[in-house]
Amino acid sequence: MLFNSYEFLVFFPLAVMMYFLTPVKWRWLLLLTASCYFYMCWKPEYIVLMMFPSLIDYYVALKMRATPEQNKRKKYLWFSLVTNLGLLFTFKYFNFFNESLRALFEALNLSYAVPVVNLLLPVGISFYTFQTLSYTIDVYRGAVEPERHLGKFALFITFFPQLVAGPIERSRNLLSQLQNLRARFEAERITDGLRLMLWGFFKKVVIADRLAATVNLVYNSPAEYHGVQIVLATVFFAFQIFCDFSGYSDIAIGAAKIFGVNLMKNFDKPYSARSISEFWKRWHISLSTWFKDYVYIPLGGNRTIKWRWYYNLFITFLISGLWHGANWTFIIWGALHGIYLIFAIISRPYKDTLLQLLGLSKRPFALKALQVLTTFALVNLGWLFFRANNLSDALLLLHNLFVLAPLASVFEFITPGALALNLLLIAILELAHYVEKETPFILSLTRKPALIRWPAYVAVTLAILYLSSSSGHQFIYFQF
């Protein structure tokens, strides 16, 4: 079931109404039932695929807690890792590696008889796999106590607001809240949740889906476009993927808030970052912190010799790229970000000298602007690979990017009116980011006078009703 569907507009109010009518003792069961139904709307049998490793992790955690011997505890952990990652590999990566090996064997004139396995990728498998893995690893480390209530543990895995595209929650935050679902029907909390959902829908169906039309046109026919056309489509994709994914997160966080559950912040104005390192502190925060805690630091982090530090960074981002999809374009995207960070570390001793040569050391505003624009340009180069349908398309787009084309060529694939509207929507988004501080823009309006607040709510609602794309688009991160 998509958030941006008529089914959800019926399902969600019913779930909320039944939640507050249900005795506190049985609310976990109501939410678990609703979450399973929400997921089964895609493909009912895949609920088994999600529950099977969840049951294993539930019992593995209890066994680890009851086992004092480190070697035995590690065996239980490995059993969980092999089960979860094995299922993820089978459904998401088997055909990718299989086809890569086939191409290698053919290049060496060797026979290769392993067939292609046609399996439908379960929605959200990467998200719920990482969520349950973090729980098992935390129990192994002694950071959290295992959950003994099987139903509440199952709810931790299936909680529908964040089930299919995050945020990827840790058990010490989400599970502890699901153990005690005592939230009352409080108007302020519920209206805050609805405001967040409204803002999320605006970002998704108005901005992201409108930008998608232009982006898809260029990226699905890479040979036909050049220079400024590719630049515009790539910049549009940068805002499309941000509005699509952060829009989902806003809807998820808002929906959970209505039930009295607080999910973690997943985005923090990433395109205002002044470096790639800062970008990753602001983009998909739940995933970047997951990789930091469960991959980068266990590899040794930065507390090692320099070449090993560079290796740890590069491997972490390479795995992050692979997590996003079974395609060489994602691997290159991850590798690019790893290279960016390594280069930033290597060049750090020369930073002050370079700033003095450029005359920027005493011009903070100009320096910040240059850093933000440079970071945004580097991120967009990565997005080119991320969005390309395959590696050959990515290389063709990269080649055509440097083929000069007049500015007027932009209007070959987008009308002046559509271009102006898209740029206006991006400007509104950035203005909202500029005025907000710690509180999301839509919630910060509560402190404004009614003459400002209510016209803003009406404008956002009317935009959703009249400016949304004519055809609903699935959220981009559902494919991961």
Q: Give the DSSP H or E segment for 191.
A: helix 187-201
SS3 category, 67: coil
Angle between helices 228-258 and 364-387 (to 10 degrees): 90
DSSP letter assigned to residue 449: -
Buried b (16+ CB within 10 A) or exposed e, 233-247: bbbbbbbbbbbbbbb
Q: Cα separation of 245 and 243, whole Å?
A: 6
Query: What single-letter amino acid sits at 1?
Result: M
Q: Are residues 179 and 141 in contact, defined by beta-carbon separation less than 8 angstroms?
A: no
Please tell me the distance from the alpha carbon of residue 157 to that of residue 294, in angstroms, as a whole number.
18
Count CB neighbours of 202 within 10 A: 26
Write the secondary structure of 159-186 as one string of H (helix), E (strand) and C (coil): CHHHCCCCCCCCCCCHHHHHCCCCCCCC
Residue 34, amino acid = A
- The number of residues in the chain equals 480
Active site residue 473: no
Greatest distance between any 2 Cα atoms in the chain: 74
Of the candidates 226, 284, 324, 337, the residue annotated as catalytic is 324
User: DSSP E strands: which ranges in 276-336?
Assistant: none
Q: Which of 203, 177, 181 is nearest to 3 (CA)?
A: 203
The residue assigned the tokens 């630049």 is 231
Q: Note whether 77 and 137 are within 8 A (CB).
A: yes
* Cα–Cα dist 94/120, whole Å: 12
- Going by C-alpha positions, the residue among 29, 408, 41, 20 that lies closest to residue 190 is 20
The CA distance from 58 to 151, in Å, is 10
DSSP string, 188-250: HHHHHHHHHHHHHHIIIIIIIHHHHHHHHHHHTSGGG--THHHHHHHHHHHHHHHHHHHHHHH
Q: How far is CA 66 from the centre of its chain?
A: 35
- The residues carrying an active-site annotation are 324
